[in-house]
A and B are shown apart, each in its own frame.
Chain A
Amino acid sequence: MIIIQVAGFLGCGKTTLMLKLSRNLAAGGARKVALVVNEIGEIPVDGKVIAESGMMMKDIGGGCICCEVAATFAKTLYQIYKEFSPEYVLVEPTGVAVPHQVSLAARMSGRDAKVAIGPAIVLFDATRPAELLDMDMLGQLVTTQIKDADVIAISKVDAVDMAAVKESVTKVREINPKARILNLSSFTGMGIDELTDIILNWEI
């Protein structure tokens, strides 16, 4: 069971991507895919949207899986492993989660379930790079998310011009020189096949 994070700050398009990426990865039932959605609010709006899509989904509300409800996250992964044994679990942490801490929490389930950690995909919203990176407290959080990424998807590229996309790429490249960077639009579908290929060919 390979755990893949789809992380990134609030409002960057994680849920929309999760829906499309999970369908792509499942390939019409050829692969078993489960989803875990986490929201810090006690109202898991995103989880309900995904549940209506018919995918195998567990939502964790009331706290962040990288800290507050990390143990619940690990138990949820074990439960999914026992009940469904998917090949892939797509995890959508809260928009304020720190990816390396989510990975640590996921590894806790490895004592009871056979899990491997796949790529940490971090979305970066091309419509508001300065807003996200230039503020005191928030910039530090978004920077940490980018540093933790194996793959950075510049999201909402359909909503900005190429100069803005390049600006985002330059900013995230300065923070994380090693991550693979790609352009993503969940509305047009750009980048989703590429992300699927990255997941399928990821060396564990």
Chain B
Amino acid sequence: MSNFSDESPGCYTEHGVSGYGVAAKISRSEPMTEDFVKSMAESMMLTIAGKCMELGAKCIGHIKSHLRTEAGTIKADTIGVGHGSYSSGRLEHPVRDVFIAINSIVQGIPEDAVKAATLEGMHDVAGQNGLFVVKEKEHTYFDEFDFTASKQDYIKQLSEQLDMDQDR
């Protein structure tokens, strides 16, 4: 297995494709219903896509998000403003806290621009919906936890991971 190296540059860079990922905890004092979270997430995806295009992107590969809560998971994504956005998943009851991960892959602008569009879009839409970003960390995902844990432990694991990542 020595013919290939894991250190070669990515094939996508020569095609002008850049990516950026961020994870955050966003909260609101008033509980949010499933419909509210889905609508907010869809709006966030479209806003990020729109901002990327404003910054000169030629094509949106995808803007994807995964929103974990104590009541279930919502997924939302778009492949461009003109294509609309789509969400799926269920929340068993309204929630105050959402752990969101966003992955933006865009063609035609550098990573810094994708980062700016992603963060601005996240903050703008969160603010418009009465949410505030409690914590955020780039290039992070909540993947070190147990799906079968109790709700309290599950949320504790997500919070701890975000705190741990901030310490890195």
Residues of A near any B CB (own CB < 8 A): 9-11, 39-46, 48-49, 52, 61, 63-64, 66-72, 74-75, 78, 94-98, 101, 105, 108-109, 111-112, 125, 127-128, 131-132, 135, 137-138, 140-141
Q: Is the CB of A71 within 8 A of B83?
A: no
Which stretch of B36-44, B54-62, B121-129, B155-163 is in the interface? B54-62
Q: Is the CB of A11 within 8 A of B11?
A: no
Given contacts A40-B10, A67-B10, 13 further A-B contacts (CB under 8 A): A41-B21, A42-B139, A42-B141, A45-B101, A68-B10, A70-B4, A71-B1, A109-B1, A111-B1, A127-B79, A131-B80, A137-B16, A140-B15
> 4 tightest A-B contacts by CB?
A10-B61, A43-B21, A11-B79, A96-B12
CB contact under 8 A between A41 and B103, given known A74-B1, A96-B17, A108-B3: yes
Collect the chain A residues with CB atoms within 8 Å of residue B62's CB.
Answer: 10-11, 95
| Cα distance A94–B23 in the bound complex, in angstroms | 20
The residue that A49 contacts in the complex, of B4, B14, B17, B75, with Cβ under 8 A, is B75
The answer to whether B29 has its CB under 8 Å from any CB of chain A is no
CB contact under 8 A between A96 and B20, given known A44-B141, A109-B1: no
Can you list, as one digit per residue, whether each of B88-113 has a CB less than 8 Å from chain A (1) or not (0)? 00000000000001111101000000
How far, in Å, is A47 (CB) from chain B's closest CB? Answer: 8
Q: Is the CB of A135 within 8 A of B11?
A: no
Q: Is the CB of A138 within 8 A of B11?
A: no
Collect the chain A residues with CB atoms within 8 Å of residue B146's CB.
Answer: none
How far, in Å, is B85 (CB) from chain A's closest CB? Answer: 11
The residue that B64 contacts in the complex, of A9, A45, A71, with Cβ under 8 A, is A45
**Complex interface residues of chain B between 128 and 154 (CB less than 8 A to chain A):** 139-141, 143, 147
